[in-house]
Amino acid sequence: GVMQALSVFRGGFTREAAAHVAGATLHDLRALADKSLLQLGSAPSTWLRTGGRYEIHELLRQYAAERLGEVPGARETAKDRHCAYYAQLLHTREADLIGRHQREALAEIEGEIENVRAAWNWAVDQGKIEEIDRSLESLAEFYCIRARFQEGEQAFARAAQRLAREQSDMASRPEVSRESRIVLGKVLLQQGRFCDPLGLAEKGVELFQKSLAILRDLDARREMAYALCYLCHLGEKPLCQEALAIFEEIGDRRGIALCLRGLADFLAGEYGAGRQLVQESLAIFRELGNQKEIATSLHRLGWVAWLLGECEVARDLHQESLVLYQEIGDQSGVADSLEYLGLDVLYGFKEYGEAKQLFQESLAIHEEIGNLYGMSVALPSLGEIALVLGEYAEAAQLAQKGLILAEKCSDPTQVPVCLRVLGLAACGLGDLKGAR
């Protein structure tokens, strides 16, 4: 019956979802609500168009699920429909998540995250290649923006393992195998995006390289270009240029903007040229309406301004990026902006108390979301404040913690920063041998 089929939902459902998954009419839902088997929950604006949101008490849901399992094939049919519905929902939000309706799309997926998670797990467990493919870009973008790195990495790792098993089973069926291999390449690509903040930089590189090898072999050009683009941070400029050429050829504006910003990283010391490239990327992201990437480009421009000694300009840009990150709930971006605002006020305005507070806020967020790389940046920054205040033992302790994380993250840029603070702290403590 309808009630049993509705038991496959998690965390509630809309009228539209109930119709697709359980074949429920409005009359059915009202009848169940009248019997107190369903509750009509609050309806945020994103759900009003689908007629509100219904919820089932967990004990009732479990009982209905048991009844559903007693009918041969009924549970599988309901789960398949549930999976297909949420895969389609994610697929239709792809453009919104990287465009003008980013905030609304994030809010809608957040509201459905329990259903989305259940649908993804079912797709992975059943080896549903099409549903995985339809879901993966939106799901990865959601997890990245909302800084759910651990959950994202695990979800995509499970999918990669399942698809790799499928590969060996389907080796004799080339037409299915090709589709499955492309999806595996895409899954590995997205899994790699979560590794850097988790302190798994080397694993991330390995995943991007695996993904690139698969996608290049199958000539999946768009996906291949994104793999090249994500590999850019290894410091391999030709990869970025190859990605840019592909994005220009296929007309992928987002990809072009990401590459322009990536190329700016290779202009060490050429701040004017670097600024020009980031401004070009910002103009494209403004045209696309991608708030996360607008914020990231502003953040990068703030860093260039800081390097050029334009402290007020840097502070204004970092403040602007902070507000945009806050609006979309990007905690990783918020923490980065707080960190750089701290650097702006520390070195530009010598406001030690304010800088310390900003660094502490940044560190607290990075700790909460498990961003080891972010923690390795914030800790020596707090160490710098301790040095200025003559708190040398505190500075050494902070820098030592940062050093351990920087080494774990295999990050060549943060290790010398931490060692410098450790050396200065040792000098302050009169330990000249340790300072050397």
Q: Give 235's DSSP letter.
A: T
pLDDT at position 141 is 98
Q: What is the mean pLDDT of residues 301-328?
A: 96
pLDDT at position 111 is 94
How much is the mean pLDDT over the chain?
92
pLDDT at position 430 is 82
307 Cβ partners below 8 Å, 6+ apart?
271
pTM of the model: 0.91
CB distance 324 to 295 below 8 Å: yes
Pull the structure tokens for residue 337. 């902006």
pLDDT at position 177 is 79
pLDDT at position 434 is 64
Residue 341 has pLDDT above 70, yes or no: yes
Per-residue pLDDT tens digits for 66-123? 999 999 999 999 999 999 999 999 999 999 999 999 999 999 999 999 999 999 999 9
The tokens 């999918």 sit on which residue? 159
Residue 222 has pLDDT above 70, yes or no: yes
CA neighbours closer than 13 Å in the CB half-sphere of residue 187: 26
Residue 395 has pLDDT above 90, yes or no: yes
Residue 51 has pLDDT above 70, yes or no: no
Q: Give 10's DSSP letter.
A: S
Domain boundaries, the chain: 1-123, 371-436
Helix (H, G, I), strand (E, B) or coil at 146: coil
Q: Where are the alpha helices (DSSP H) in 26-128?
A: 26-34, 45-48, 58-69, 74-92, 94-97, 102-111, 113-125
Residue 48 has pLDDT above 80, yes or no: no
**Residues 201, 214: Cα–Cα separation, whole Å:** 20
pLDDT at position 268 is 74
Who wins on pLDDT, 409 or 157?
157
53, containing H or E segment: strand 53-55
Pull the structure tokens for residue 382. 């707090």
pLDDT at position 301 is 97
Give me the percent of the chain exceeding a pLDDT of 70. Answer: 94
pLDDT at position 171 is 64
CA neighbours closer than 13 Å in the CB half-sphere of residue 122: 23
Fold of 371-436: 1.25.40
